[in-house]
């Protein structure tokens, strides 16, 4: 198929930088201040922890080599074969990119020879070996995952271990995973396992200045976590998404330092016209014939709403979990970031306001609460992992069944209810997308949507008695207290809307910090001023609106080059997405969302005032 040029809306070479200018003295000062700010926030690990991580990796390398030799011997190979048998480990993700913080896990890949398989040897013999070691804790294999993984803690350091079986009898001492020939003859799971390392190395080789890239990426990841949009599983940005987005900005401004790159990150992506993909290099067909992201050939790829493409073959979309609702949330947050950066450049605000935490549990009047329970720790961990991998489907199904008119904002984290053993809760904020006053009294019945979601979760092949899932509607005042730090419900945050970010008081409570659970009781109701909305979304201009065209012209006129290349034709579905997402969010108080329900599905009477109505069962055992 030749070379795929990343599509866009502006003429010019897509791989040319926008500006080759170096940093000003003020940029250097601001970058130093930014680094000091992140260090004060504890985003850098100590030298002692770095040394301990290196020691753990060295010990793990010894264990894996001993494991391969043992498997080779048990399978009856000769002494020469046993002596030459070895495994190699590689790191990827935040640790390899140099942006990991204290307590972060280490993404690790083990590469083994062809006679050491995944099912019997990796999840069998190696699992038993690790389970017998006193340094190993919380050992949790996930062989059924899309990318099979073994999770554990080794001497207090969290490890995520993947395995790839190469098509050679002996692993060479100098193994280069970046060459395509390493993929020859591999099974699908091994190709996927190798992909993390290959993508990480490709990114590091593409960015002009690694340190500037690392500082900018660390800053963007921190911003995304505080604003509640850092979770690939929930349909938001993950680590690899952020890395590719930041790397693209580094390509456009190769000589810029971190403070300038952070500002341009928000400026570039606030005017990016999704679903035009973000790509770091052209996608080229290779002789191996592996499937890769190509919307010209693959109908499924045309449905992606926010394609962010990996730079290593086989190219893939890292943001396939993004839904209509989560894309709107991210667009609003990026717009907010752009406005803050503009205020900082004008001397009207400090960059610290960019990191004000988002008050999720005061931002909406209505929520869906998803509860999961199990009978023991092993069942709970397995059930929890499965449900978390399916939660994104709830948002997608609500988007589909309400024609994109009901905004769903999933919280990226789960909450443990310590008042009940083996119970975890997840929350989704709800809001009507206001298109016109004629829609104001419309009722949305999502009972069948909820049932369909529970059926999708209930097909879990390892389902056991006691594994339950329930979905219920909660008003803001009824959110259980165990989700709040210290079990104390905070006062409503008021940021004055996303557009009024300059000089506003920061939110005082971090609803996205780890849960310090207390007994799970329903909080008392309290009256709130419904004209005060803590999260006022701005217009989502996915199409070539006059505003986005003006922004594009501003960048081009200012800096003399294009951000995106030639025009990309949209599919009918994408055009529908664009029309739907171009609606304005409510700038005032929200309507009440009432949910009369019982343990059985019930039809509720039409209320006297305009509401959005939800009706579905509250708790259903998945194992019936």
**What is the CATH code for 25-44+207-355?**
1.10.1410.10
Nearest to 287 by CA among 189, 183, 188: 183
Distance of alpha carbon 27 from its chain centroid, rounded? Answer: 30
End-to-end CA distance of the chain: 50
Which of the two residues, 573 and 106, has the higher pLDDT score? 106
Confirm whether residue 315 is marked as ligand binding: no
596/337 Cα distance (integer angstroms):
39
Reading the block at residue 66, the tokens are 């001993």
Whether 93 has a binding-site annotation, put simply, is yes
Instruction: Answer whether residue 525 shows pLDDT above 60.
Output: no
SS3 427: strand
List where CATH 1.10.1410.10 sits in the chain. 25-44+207-355
pLDDT grade, residue 177 (50/70/90)? very high
Element (H, E) at 92: strand 88-92
Q: For CATH 3.30.460.10, list the domain ranges present in the chain.
A: 47-200
d(CA 624, CA 610) in angstroms, rounded, equals 36
pLDDT band at 260 (very low <50, low <70, confident <90, very high): very high
Q: What percent of the chain has pLDDT over 70?
A: 75
Among 580, 577, 571, smallest CA distance to 7 is for 571
d(CA 258, CA 567): 30
Selected from 3.40.50.970, 3.30.460.10, 1.10.3720.10, 3.40.50.620, the CATH number assigned to the domain covering 47-200 reads 3.30.460.10
Q: What percent of the chain has pLDDT over 90?
A: 63
Whether residue 244 is predicted with pLDDT greater than 70 in this model: the reply is: yes
- Annotated binding residue at 554? no
For 98, residues 6+ apart whose C-beta sits below 8 A from its C-beta are 210, 214
Long-range contacts of the stretch 93-99 (C-beta < 8 A, 24+) = 93/196, 93/200, 93/239, 93/240, 94/221, 94/239, 95/53, 96/197, 96/200, 96/201, 96/204, 97/200, 97/203, 97/204, 97/214, 97/217, 97/243, 98/210, 98/214, 99/214, 99/217, 99/218, 99/221
Given this model, what pLDDT does residue 439 score?
Answer: 52
Q: Judge whether 105 is annotated as a binding position.
A: yes
Mean pLDDT value across the chain: 79
Q: Is 106 annotated as a binding residue?
A: yes
Averaged over 539-565, what is the pLDDT? 38
Judge whether residue 406 has pLDDT over 70.
yes
Residue with tokens 């010019």: 12
> Quick one: which H or E segment has residue 55?
helix 47-74
The CA distance from 401 to 530, in Å, is 27
Q: Hey, which residues does 593 pair with through a beta bridge? A: 612
CA distance 538 to 301: 28
Pick the closest to residue 469 from 550, 558, 556, 387 (CA basis). Answer: 387
185 marked ligand binding residue? no
The CATH-assigned architecture of domain 360-436+443-483 is 2-Layer Sandwich (3.30)
Residue 260: closest CA among 344, 325, 187, 203: 344
At 122, the pLDDT band (50, 70, 90 cuts) reads: very high
Please give the Cα distance from 269 to 338 (Å, whole number).
9
Query: 571 falls in which pLDDT band (50, 70, 90)?
Result: low
Domain with CATH 3.30.70.590 in the chain: 360-436+443-483
């Amino acid at each position: 198929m030749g070379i795929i040029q990343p599509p866009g809306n502006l003429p010019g070479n897509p791989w040319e930088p926008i500006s080759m200018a170096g940093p000003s003295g003020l940029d250097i000062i601001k970058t130093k201040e930014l680094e000091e700010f992140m260090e004060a926030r504890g985003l850098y690990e100590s030298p002692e922890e770095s040394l301990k991580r290196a020691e753990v990796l060295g010990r793990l390398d010894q264990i894996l080599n001993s494991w391969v030799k043992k498997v080779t011997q048990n399978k009856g190979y000769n002494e020469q074969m046993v002596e030459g048998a070895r495994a190699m480990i590689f790191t990827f993700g935040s640790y390899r990119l140099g942006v990991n913080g204290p307590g972060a896990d280490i993404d690790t890949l083990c590469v083994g020879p062809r006679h050491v398989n995944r099912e019997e040897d990796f999840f069998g013999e190696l699992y038993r070996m690790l389970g017998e070691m006193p340094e190993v804790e919380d050992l949790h294999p996930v062989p059924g995952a899309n990318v099979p993984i073994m999770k554990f803690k080794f001497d207090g350091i969290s490890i995520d271990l993947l395995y790839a079986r190469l098509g050679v009898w002996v692993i060479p001492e100098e193994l280069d995973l970046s060459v395509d020939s390493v993929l020859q003859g591999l099974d699908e799971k091994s190709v996927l396992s190798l992909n993390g390392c290959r993508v990480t190395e490709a990114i590091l080789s593409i960015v002009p200045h690694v340190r500037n890239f690392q500082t900018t990426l660390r800053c963007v990841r921190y911003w995304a976590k505080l604003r509640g949009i850092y979770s690939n599983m929930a349909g938001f940005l993950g680590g690899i998404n952020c890395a590719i987005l930041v790397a693209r900005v580094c390509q456009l401004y190769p000589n810029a330092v971190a403070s300038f790159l952070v500002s341009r990150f928000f400026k570039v992506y606030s005017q990016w016209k999704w679903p035009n993909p973000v790509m770091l290099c052209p996608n080229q067909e290779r002789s191996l014939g592996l499937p890769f992201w190509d919307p010209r050939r693959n109908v499924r790829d045309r449905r992606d709403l926010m394609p962010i493409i990996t730079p290593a073959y086989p190219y893939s979309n890292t943001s396939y979990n993004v839904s209509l609702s989560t894309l709107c949330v991210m667009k609003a947050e990026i717009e907010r970031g752009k406005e803050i950066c503009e205020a900082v450049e004008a001397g009207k605000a400090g960059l610290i306001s960019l990191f004000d935490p988002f008050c999720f549990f005061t931002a909406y009047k209505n929520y869906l609460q998803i509860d999961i329970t199990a009978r023991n720790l092993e069942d709970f961990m397995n059930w929890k992992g499965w449900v978390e991998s399916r939660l994104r489907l709830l948002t997608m199904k609500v988007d589909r069944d309400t024609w994109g008119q009901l905004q769903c904002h999933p919280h990226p984290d789960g909450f443990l209810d310590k008042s009940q053993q083996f119970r975890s809760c997840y929350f989704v904020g709800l809001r009507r997308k206001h298109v016109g006053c004629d829609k104001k009294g419309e009722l949305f019945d999502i009972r069948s949507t909820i049932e369909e979601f529970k059926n999708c979760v209930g097909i879990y092949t390892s389902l056991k008695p006691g594994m339950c899932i329930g979905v219920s509607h909660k008003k803001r005042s009824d959110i259980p207290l165990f989700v709040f730090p210290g079990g104390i419900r905070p006062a409503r945050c008021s940021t004055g809307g996303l557009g009024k970010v300059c000089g506003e008081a920061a939110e005082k409570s971090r609803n996205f910090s780890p849960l310090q659970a207390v007994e799970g009781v329903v909080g008392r109701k309290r009256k709130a001023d419904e004209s005060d909305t803590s999260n006022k979304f701005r217009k989502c201009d996915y199409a070539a609106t006059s505003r986005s065209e003006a922004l594009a012209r501003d960048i081009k006129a200012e800096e003399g080059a294009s951000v995106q290349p030639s025009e990309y034709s949209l599919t009918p579905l994408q055009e529908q997405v664009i029309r739907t997402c171009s609606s304005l969010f409510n700038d005032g108080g929200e309507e009440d969302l009432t949910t009369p329900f019982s343990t059985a599905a019930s039809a509720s009477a039409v209320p006297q005032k305009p509401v959005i109505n939800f009706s579905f069962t509250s708790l259903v055992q998945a194992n019936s």
